[in-house]
Amino acid sequence: MPWDWPGLWGSSRVRGPLWIWIWLSSTLPFLCIPINEVNLLDSRTVMGDLGWIAYPKNGWEEIGEVDENYAPIHTYQVCKVMEQNQNNWLLTSWISNEGASRIFIELKFTLRDCNSLPGGLGTCKETFNMYYFESDDEDGRNIRENQYIKIDTIAADESFTELDLGDRVMKLNTEVRDVGPLMRKGFYLAFQDVGACIALVSVRVYYKKCPSVVRNLVIFPDTITGADSSQLLEVSGSCVNYSITEEPPKMHCSAEGEWLVPIGKCMCKEGYEEKNNTCQGCRPGFFKASPQSQTCSKCPPHSYSHEKASASCVCEENYYRRESDPPTMACTRPPSAPRNAISNINETSVFLEWTPPADTGGRKDVSYNIVCKKCNSHSSLCEECGSHVRYLPQQNSLKNTSVMVVDLLAHTNYTFEVEAENGVSDLSPSARQYVSVNVTTNQAAPSPISIVKKGKIAKNSISLSWQEPDRPNGIILEYEIKYFEKDQETSYTIIKSRETEITADGLKPSSPYIFQIRARTAAGYGSFSRRFEFETSPVSVAASSDQSQIPIIAVSVTVGVILLAVVVGFFLSGRRCGYSKAKQDPEEEKMHFHNGHIKLPGVKTYIDPHTYEDPNQAVHEFAKEIDASCITIERVIGAGEFGEVCSGRLKLPGKREFAVAIKTLKVGYTEKQRRDFLGEASIMGQFDHPNIIHLEGVVTKSKPVMIVTEYMENGSLDTFLKKNDGQFTVIQLVGMLRGIASGMKYLSDMGYVHRDLAARNILINSNLVCKVSDFGLSRILEDDPEAAYTTRGGKIPIRWTAPEAIAFRKFTSASDVWSYGIVMWEVMSYGERPYWEMTNQDVIKAVEEGYRLPSPMDCPAALYQLMLDCWRKDRNSRPKFEEIVSMLDKLIRNPSSLKTLVNASNRVSNLLVEHNCLGTGAYRSVSEWLEAIKMGRYLEAFVQNGYSSMDTVTQVTLEDLRRLGVTLAGHQKKIMNSIQEIRVQLVNGMVPL
């Protein structure tokens, strides 16, 4: 049906509102406005009269229709297209800007296309104008047109024709304009029609805001956008409850009402964590120590929190936290005591070593302090050692598990307490945890003399005086003064004196002389002092004391030659004193040497008891007689060749009672047996060294005849190692070896050849100190079950004995060194039998052919090399015990040098004999294998877990071992190494499984 146009809206009001209603119904979503827009006016939502004014009155007219809810639809229309000079105004009521300085006007309207009109093209317009006028109140409404400020001319994007109306296609236009900055509290809008056909369907006036938001735990308030369309407003936010910030966070509100560029954030404070943009307290059992942490964490071990919102957890009883410990760290406690402390004594130095505590208290900062106490052996009273004792590297806060204590007094009892502490030890009231080691220092030679002063100088004599050495280490028996004319060192004179001054006479005038002095105590000579140079006076200087005019050299050489002859004579006649005396003054002896190397007295030598016609005399010379009533025998600990070996206690008058071992001579002995039995005491009694078993004395005046020695709690070394297989650190093993070597050095220095050095003849005490024992005279023949008869009739412990000693009885300290190499091998393999089950004949043959024992498992390369050096065929190329001691000391001081092990493949290639003899491969069964490596106790676990054949065994991993219940690290190592060897052998095609 055609529209009545242009008079339509004027005459027929029915149709116009109808299409508007249809349109409104289909555009309901328009009523949903974005959240960042705040309406100041929306003509669609005003229920009553809009209160707009139109003039002239016949211009804009309101179509008063209602929607289906009977709400008014405020639509204004005008359509005076056929009439000239139209100027129709429609004024809104006053609109408050609510503080916004920029507002938006959204117009929805329809506009008739002038071309579609039948006439009046000359007057028809297709635009209208929009104006505003600012005013603080409603009073400004009646102003003149020309006071309104034009906002824009509004044209339709799309106009419609009559045809469109027929199709009911509504061409609704939406135009938005903005105005700002506004200066007053409100404004009016005005729409001016100048001859168009318009229906103004809705007018919405709004401003934009950035709506309140919580971002990064910061609350930003509703913020009206700025006046300028490109302006960004900086807005400060505030932190949500229980959150904090260092700098106030900010965000920017854009003209479009969008939040942009957040700067900074808030963080939930201690004890709170973020949840849904809020901060919530941590649950009990959880904590958050710092705002920087994101979430609450569970309380670390040994701590708890009973409250909500805890910033930290409280330590359980007996657990502590250092101030510097992070709150995330477990609470810890002081360590337990260090373990397995051992000592190695070298004269007046003690090397202490220990293993870390079993319980470190949960901390890594365990350190050790050393407390040194000097103890009286009789009263057992101890006092602090004082400041003269030095500790290397230091006494306290030791990080490593060893320390060297030097400058101790000679031949003195000390107790060292090695105390473990960690970062929380000082917070704990519990007693300090320590392990103590008792040691007795050796006899030590005096320290060198450092102060020598010249006295009277004459043309033929020089007087000297000096001060006692700083550390005499005993009573000084005498001083030895060596002097010679400068650059004539090969011809020198030695004076011995008990005084601290001498006069050297018979010197050449105007000649420089070099003097060196050393002191002697019971422990021998100390080192010579540095060289002191003094010059005699010229001839012209008169010297009353100098009368000798005989050429000095002649005298000196003559005296020297005579003395030398006397000295040699004394040696040959078997006297122990190795030099003659040329008496000058009762306190002085003087000797001359020329190119001579005479062994000087003071160095003790071993005296073979055989050289005594009456062996009883030897025994009483070297061993104290003990009254049998002082001895309490407690139990039998073994059997010796001559009778039982017992442990017991010795209580000498005025001394503390202490544990001893007692060797007894069985009843019905022959005289020879008695002699041989006591012979051991005669030898042992000559030795005084911490690594030689100490003789307390003998009982010969009553029966049974007994030899009483110090008690060694852990018995013989071979049995002890077998019992504690895999239980020691390499350093501990090297410590044992060092002790044995030190004892052997002492013996070899004394000129004593042991001949039966083997782990079974070493005893070990509770401090893991090893001591050489078994000095029986007949032991090589009778005592040692390992000794076998050689083709030449002698009985020799073949596996321990050097080839030259087996072949032609050449027993020397060098052959003891060979045996020492075997002892090293026994120690490093925890008491394995050298050459396993090979026969003695095969051993002799293999060794002769150049084969040597392979390295024990896990043996440091440096130690195996030392063993090989001890087993050099040429005995002169073997190291001396002194060298062995210093090499082991070096290794102990530098434990990292022990880290390089002889690797498995080298061991295999080094093997002495066929593999199956060596217990490392070609096993027929798991049982045979485990037995061979002395791990038979795990057989059941292996078999029960399906490792019943050797090929399954090669698959076993360390993890598997743990599952099988092999928990001891030493055993795991042993089994895994053996498996590794079997694998290597398989790869090399050496052992068919």
Q: Are 370 and 396 within 8 A, CB to CB?
A: yes
Count interface residues toward ligand ACK (CB under 6 A).
13
Q: Which of 526, 640, 679, 854 binds ligand ACK (CB under 6 A)?
A: 640
Smallest distance, Å, CB 827 to ligand ACK? Answer: 15
Q: Which of 637, 730, 941, 976 binds ligand ACK (CB under 6 A)?
A: 637
Query: How many beta carbons lie within 10 A of that of residue 149, not counting itself?
Result: 12
Given the rule CB under 6 A, which of 149-157, 164-172, 528-536, 707-715 is the region that contacts ligand ACK? 707-715
331 binds ligand ACK (CB under 6 A): no
Shortest Cβ distance from residue 567 to ligand ACK (Å)? Answer: 40
Interface with ligand ACK in residues 392-451 (CB under 6 A): none
Which are the contacts of 862, defined by CB distance < 8 A and separation ≥ 6? 887, 891, 897, 898, 900
The SS3 call for residue 433 is strand
Judge contact between 494 and 581, C-beta under 8 A.
no
Nearest Cα neighbor of 107 from 33, 201, 179, 198 is 201
Nearest approach, Cβ of residue 772 and ligand ACK (Å): 12
- Binders of ligand ACK among 202-231, rule CB under 6 A? none
Please state the residue numbers annotated as binding site.
637-645, 663
895-930 burial code (b ≥16 CB/10 A, e <16): beebeebbebeebbeebbbebeebbbbbbeebeebb
Question: Are 89 and 110 in contact, with CB atoms under 8 Å apart?
Answer: no
Q: Choose the stretch contacting ligand ACK; rule: CB under 6 A; options: 139-147, 560-568, 637-645, 667-675.
A: 637-645
Residues 650-669 as x/- pattern, contact with ligand ACK by CB under 6 A: -----------x--------
**Residue 40 or 759 having the CB closest to ligand ACK:** 759
Angle at 558 between CA 552 and CA 559, to 5 degrees: 90
Burial (CB count <10 Å: 0-12, 13-18, 19+), residue 739 = buried
Closer residue to ligand ACK (CB): 423 or 739 = 739
Work out whether 709 is an interface residue with ligand ACK (CB under 6 A): yes
Q: Which is nearer to ligand ACK, 711 or 800 (CB)?
A: 711
> Which residue, 589 or 718, has its beta carbon nearer to ligand ACK?
718
Tell me what percent of the chain is helix, strand and coil, each rounded to the nearest 5: 25, 30, 45
Instruction: Choose between 683 and 932: whose C-beta lies nearer to ligand ACK.
Output: 683
> Rule CB under 6 A: is residue 638 a binding residue for ligand ACK?
yes
Report how far residue 493's alpha carbon sits from residue 462's, in angstroms, rounded to the nearest whole number: 13
Q: Which is nearer to ligand ACK, 684 or 824 (CB)?
A: 684
Query: Which one of the spans 412-420, 551-559, 605-613, 632-640 is the region binding ligand ACK (CB under 6 A)?
Result: 632-640
**Residue listed under structure tokens 């579609």:** 116
508-547 residues in contact with ligand ACK (CB under 6 A) are none
Provide the 3-class DSSP secondary structure of residue 909: helix
The active-site residue, picked from 164, 505, 725, 756, is: 756
Least Cα distance to 593 among 555, 560, 551, 552 occurs for 560
Nearer to ligand ACK, 268 or 661 (CB): 661
Q: Which tokens sit at 975?
A: 């089994």
DSSP 784-826: -TT-EE-TTS-EE-GGGS-HHHHHH----HHHHHHHHHHHHHH
The piece of 421-429, 616-624, 636-644, 842-850 that touches ligand ACK (CB under 6 A) is 636-644
Sequence ranges of the binding site for ATP: 637-645, 663
Question: Contacts with ligand ACK in 753-792 (CB under 6 A)?
Answer: 763
Instruction: In angstroms, give the least distance from the CB of 754 to ligand ACK.
Output: 16
Q: Which is nearer to ligand ACK, 369 or 709 (by Cβ)?
A: 709
Burial grade of 309 (CB within 10 A; 0-12, 13-18, 19 or more) = buried
Please, what is the minimum distance in Å from the beta carbon of residue 662 to ligand ACK?
A: 9
860 lies in the binding site for ligand ACK (CB under 6 A)? no
Residue-wise DSSP of 271-296: TEEEETTEEEEPPTTEE---TTSSS-
325 is a catalytic site residue: no
How far apart are alpha carbons 66 and 908 in whole angstroms?
A: 108
Shortest Å, Cβ 433 to ligand ACK:
29
DSSP state of 938: G
The residues in 710-749 that bind ligand ACK, with binding defined as CB under 6 A, are: 711-712, 715-716, 719
Q: Which of 220, 139, 218, 222 is nearest to 184 (CA)?
A: 139
The residue of the chain with the least Cβ separation from ligand ACK equals 638
Q: Which stretch binds ligand ACK (CB under 6 A): 49-57, 397-405, 473-481, 634-642?
A: 634-642
**Is 338 within 8 Å of 391 (Cβ atoms)?**
no
Of residues 189 and 770, the one with the C-beta less far from ligand ACK = 770
> Least separation, in Å, of the C-beta of 771 and ligand ACK?
8
Q: To the nearest whole angstrom, how small is the minimum distance from the Cβ of residue 714 to ligand ACK?
A: 8
What number of H helices and E strands is found in the chain?
Answer: 19, 54
Q: How many CA atoms lie within 13 A of 66 on its CB side?
A: 7
Per CB under 6 A, the segment of 456-464, 536-544, 706-714, 901-909 that binds ligand ACK is 706-714
Taking the complex as a whole, the smallest distance from the CB of residue 776 to ligand ACK amounts, in Å, to 11
Structure tokens at 644: 């039982």
- To which residue do tokens 């079974």 refer? 760
* Range in contact with ligand ACK (rule: CB under 6 A) among 514-522, 705-713, 894-902, 976-984: 705-713
Site for ligand ACK in 382-401 (CB under 6 A): none
Instruction: Single out the residue of 754, 738, 850, 742 nearest to residue 797, CA to CA.
Output: 754
Task: Give the interface with ligand ACK as residue ranges (CB under 6 A).
Answer: 637-638, 640, 645, 661, 693, 709, 711-712, 715-716, 719, 763
Just list the catalytic residues: 756
